Amino acid sequence: VLFYNDRSKTKSVILGILKNGNISDLKPVNIEGFSYTVTNTCAFDSLVHLICSSYVDSTQYSTYIDQEISHDFFELVSSASRDGINAQTYRKRVVILGKIMCTLRTR
């Protein structure tokens, strides 16, 4: 959250910031013995934030997303909105992007 108005009388959900893959302090993600580093994730991260914002703003939308939890992307949105951005969020991002694009594996 870049700005939080503590004087507001409305309830606000605070969403974490999903760091871009280009940020140097992000460690590689290890999955099944392979180390993955993703870069240029701006578009994907923006989409995640957009859908997370809709998720927390609309109960109908969050209900729909939770019903479609079998889709990796919706599971990422649901858990990031509920639990915040954590190591599992970055792991799920790598899994989703790996399914979409060809990846290079390094040991």
pLDDT of residue 1: 42
pLDDT of residue 2: 42
pLDDT of residue 10: 57
pLDDT of residue 6: 59
Closest CA to 100 of 73, 80, 81: 73
**Which residues are paired to 30 by β-bridges?**
35
CB-CB contact of 18 with 80 (8 Å): yes
pLDDT of residue 37: 86
Q: What percent of the chain has pLDDT over 90?
A: 44
Residue 95 burial (CB < 10 Å; 0-12/13-18/19+)?
middle
Q: What percent of the chain has pLDDT over 70?
A: 82
- pLDDT tens digit sequence for 5-49: 556 555 666 778 888 878 878 888 888 888 888 888 999 999 999
pTM over 0.95: no
Q: Any idea what the Cα angle at residue 43 is, between residues 2 and 56, rounded to 5°?
A: 50
